[in-house]
Structure 1
């Protein structure tokens, strides 16, 4: 072997060893960095919880892994919902709520993953269902002006699994009164009003997507179940559901609409490959994407929220929600969970919210329905497709359709318009 070849081989061997050593070191360093990042996040979460730092918790809910695990959620969620302080005494037995029968039907369909011939699983399922019904009925009996809607049991199920019955009961009351109140009135019109604002968001951020939806006469009601359950009905991965709740609990109730807009825009390329037909587009969009990049969507939703805050968005859209909508009262003194983003160390006073429930709905516009702004032809087509989806679609699609078809405002609008 020549001297030149020996030198070349020595160089290549040294280079190979150096690369191997560098790679090994990189791998060793990479693992601690990931671990260190998680440990730093946990320390930041702990500090924010101990000090009651709401802005810090909000910031952490937007990035990375949110609140990381259920152990931290059991500390963070009650703090954010102000259920970490003593509440009122247990209510005495009251009259049967008008929606109790519907609650019982939904309870029967809950915790299906525990359906098994195993006796132990059957016992667990029965106990979970009993706990879930107790949580829902506690909310309805404390606040009889609230109406139960199909989907609230999905919200309460998430709370029960993460927090346990006692804490979930308190959390469900706060969510119902401050976040989901618009869903729990005598009809779904306030929720349809919220969803209508998604059209404005898409028009502002991605006009091509909204043009496509307009061309296919697709109305913005396809993500109804996403908004009224915070995706708990549509996502099969509980870890993703909990991650979304980390985020949504931290912000105005309208954040779920910003989230839906972000999801739609994340699917723009796939959407444009769908035939521009109402039924095809609606069916495609109604199915929440299982492979969604959740962190990217959350980040985009937060960016939309920051750019177009709820009041600004309503003004831009020239479509205003009810003055006493949970969206508009969320930061209003007297009906807010916080005092300038500072935790109030007393139990939540639900009196002002109960008072709002007794007041008539007031809008800045003369429109009487969220549906009045859409062409008759689009609504007629929408009704026909909704009926088909109720009859033939999978549960995740059919539920949203059924909820809308059964809403008082939708039926009344159809009757007044002569659409049968």
Structure 2
């Protein structure tokens, strides 16, 4: 495992330098400093909002500030379902599994408590499990924080719309590069939301081969967060011949495409995704699609001064520590798009939306049995619940 971790680090280091810079480093703050900063922040928020009850609680809890996080219960439920590959046939094995689950819980909660404007989503535990497997608990805490702030921030807001907007750009990619595939999806009224779990877990929930998962992480860590969408488009195009043999029916096509192919030629897919990325960079793709993500999206801030993960090539000083302050400020700002648009779900033809309104509950239930994360996350999404309410399905 140590060799795997070293190899993974070397790949990320060399690839990141080739992609445009050196990976910035971060030194975690001492626990007492974090607790003090958090207490001050909570006091400020309570004073500004006039929340007398919150001020009362803070006066009782004292400087330790041991207040449960709003997502703590959900995190515990998901952690219990983690590390299922560890056998439980002996007491020692059960003890190891419980220890790993406890460590995973603390990795996730550490990130959420450092950045209270982030919301947990079902699938982030899969990401943190991968980090723990390669890096161990302590290093995983730092890595998970960077992943949350730089790569998965759009998933950790109050609803799913930013992620659905990202997936909508996949339609534009397919239309540009393989119009026959997109035409088939259009005829079957298939919306581009079937690979949701691929994007929010970087395929770690869908692939069984951990070597492939680690390879995907090494690749995606080196580029803009939207690269996961380019990867998804590459996977779909690689299956075009199989896809055309599927009955052109909404439910049949959705079910076929939602299953990530276990025998995928990963190197070919990565090469194709990189080619797409270089041909249609994130900003250019948004312009070609006439569909823009929020200006504060992790996609659009990834390379901006103050909110970028990688240093400039011409920087002569050693890599600086990551300052998460600017991103925390972004999280507190309203979402603003280059051009005002309605939600991602309303961008598609009425016929496709009608089928999804009729079939989504059944498809989500089916998906929950086979892959879980995407279906559960959809059903827990405020945006999705509102959509169902508006259609009279709930």
> How high is the TM-score relative to the length of structure 1?
0.80
Q: Partners of 2:332 and 2:209 in 1: how far apart?
A: 38
Deviations along 1:228-258, whole A, 9 cap, x unmatched?
0000000011111001000000000000000
Aligned with residue 124 of structure 2, among 152, 157, 162:
152
Partners of 1:416 and 1:126 in 2: how far apart?
A: 42
1:391 pairs with one of 365, 382, 385: 365
Measure how far apart 1:409 and its partner are: 1.5
1:88 is displaced (CA, Å) by 1.5
Could you tell me how far 1:124 is from its partner in structure 2? 1.0
Displacement of 1:267 = 0.3
Distance 2:133 2:120 in 1: 20
Q: Distance in 2 between matches of 1:181 and 1:288?
A: 23
RMSD: 2.2
**8 A Cα contact 1:283 1:397, kept in partner:** no
Q: 1:361 aligns with which of 335, 342, 350?
A: 335
What is the match of residue 303 of structure 2? 331
- Report what 1:71 is aligned to: none
Distance change >3 Å, CA 258–CA 124, structure 1 → 2: same
Q: Does the 8 Å CA contact 2:123/2:205 hold for their aligned counterparts? A: yes
**2:345 aligns with one of 360, 371, 376:** 371
Equivalent runs, 1:403-418 vs 2, <5 Å = 403-416=377-390
2:89 paired with 1:89: no
Select which of 281, 286, 290 maps to 1:309: 281
The unaligned stretches of length 5 or more in structure 1 are 1-41, 60-78
SS in 1 for 2:310: coil
Find the counterpart in structure 2 of residue 36 from structure 1: none
- Would you say the 8 A contact 1:335–1:352 is kept in 2? yes
SS in structure 1 at match of 2:165: helix
Tell whether the 8 Å contact from 1:234 to 1:396 is kept in structure 2 after alignment. Answer: no
Match of 1:252 in 2: 224
Structure 2 unaligned residues grouped into runs of 5+: 1-6, 36-63
Compute the displacement of 1:397 (Å).
4.0
- For the pair shown, the structure with the greater C-alpha radius of gyration is 1
* Residue in 1 that maps onto 2:61: none
- Cα displacement (A) at 1:209: 0.2
1:285-320 Cα distance to aligned partner (Å, 9 max, x none): 000000000000000000000000000000000000
SS in 2 for 1:113: coil
| Mapping 1:191-206, distance limit 5 Å | 191-206=163-178
Mapping 1:160-309, distance limit 5 Å: 160-309=132-281
Conserved? CA contact 2:15–2:222, under 8 Å:
no
SS in 1 for 2:147: helix
Q: How many residues align?
A: 354
CA deviations 1:23-57 (Å, max 9, x no partner) are xxxxxxxxxxxxxxxxxxx8x959x95xx88333x
Q: CA deviation at 1:372?
A: 1.4
Q: CA deviation at 1:404?
A: 1.9
The separation in 1 between residues aligned to 2:371 and 2:286, in whole angstroms, is 28
CA offsets, 1:94-115, max 9 Å, x none?
4211000000000000001114
For normalisation by structure 2, the TM-score amounts to: 0.85
Matched, 1:54 2:28: no
Contact 1:380 / 1:419 at 8 angstroms: preserved in 2?
A: no
Instruction: Give per-residue Cα distances to partners, 1:317-358, cap 9 Å, x unaligned.
Output: 000000000000000111112232469623210000000000
Distance 1:372 1:53 in 2: 38
Question: In the alignment, which residue of structure 2 is the partner of 1:139?
Answer: 111
Matching residue of 1:381: 355
2:99 corresponds to which residue?
127
The separation in 2 between residues aligned to 1:399 and 1:139, in whole angstroms, is 20
